[in-house]
Structure 1
């Protein structure tokens, strides 16, 4: 906790895990065990920060000398980012294993975690859930809704399924029926729409970023989720990982489609490591984002919602 606000971060690794942005999602908030599904910023003028640690690849090649060293390097990146963003104490750990066991360990053993199993009717797709950021002035009023969805991978199809899309539709209708509260969405594998908006050569306006070194590796199919989001005035931005060589944000209709920044030293690619930061301000409401590099430098600042 700092004088300027509370800090939420979620980690991801290109494993069968849950926010590997699971590959889905591990979400950790500071500094106390969450009550219900609520996140509470500090004062009205205090920003609420989210750090996206994408594709950590923890536990990769664990029997080799190289594997554990990459975990040390990945942890160093996270520590550097958190030091510069000055959040406060943090705690996060997991091992590469099956989705459900990962979620069980995360929820039961990590006392700071906000992660949730999600509806059992969507399993084996786990970690589909929503958190609300509450107003510091009115604890019954939401400032924003944060949705986390499992986009598959590993031994599961790389999709946001029709069942997940329907769950989102019903949940949004239940908690945000008039679309008056902004919504921010996180999953791991980019949708096919990312291919359509991807910069062709370099990165030029209206896109913002610094890394465009590979083609988008999208989900296997679109099954309704992007159509739902494109039609919601309250949906502001989607954040994904998966592609280590991309860190841009590009607009699509009224949405922003953003990549995180490769954080982990495991996996492919030798690009400099870092993390995407998302900042929510209550009054006036805004969503801003930037990339914080391992060496502390900041770049690619963008306003995602006025």
Structure 2
């Protein structure tokens, strides 16, 4: 009989040490770029009100894990969706289960980590204030990570609800709510798009020369307009962001002309491929999520939980 460590939502979130997650996600992204990861494209079963996605993956040296996550419309918040699920971590050597944890905070933190890594690698060093577009759980996770890593950088949060924008902005020492999305984006050198949009929320004309966009939303439709995608140098976690259809690929990157290429972010992080080439270049990291990032975050959460003695031990 084997035992598995169960981490509830609070324990999972507490175990996701920001610096360690950043390092682990960077390692995973490099492994993806080098084709060292075993992770089939995400699949989903569709129900009338949403979908159930499955994402298994193995990253050598980090671990073996699988995520099951449901994405359903939230009837209490029209226009928003809930992301609920579990992540199971296994021993990569003998396959026995090690831990079961809440997929919600794990997904939020690893997604924010990949977006932040893209900004570190691709944004101008003198990019000015940061804009975060969105007021949901992912936007809050992004602002919280920025607060932990760059508390002095001005952050402007924008969304449909000014009150929610102010609440999210309060998580950052230098955060405040913007007057609106256009106001936030025009003043920003880096834009984090964290919405559940089904149509674009960003207009190309709002973006400053040399801006960097990290777009992690758009599960149900394009978060960015076609002109932004047309004018930007493109980066993603993996090539399939452009070559496979949603839900594994990105809505914005479907049907790119043959001459357009999408550079794996991990190849920039490792120095194997260039990132930004000049100060006026528009750069775009389009995230679709990747099982390798779940493996990375789960490995960190499990290691911290074991060290701290957190979680409930369950017999299988």
Q: Normalization by structure 2: what TM-score?
A: 0.33
Q: Which has more helix, going by share of residues?
A: 2
Q: Normalization by structure 1: what TM-score?
A: 0.34
Larger radius of gyration: 2
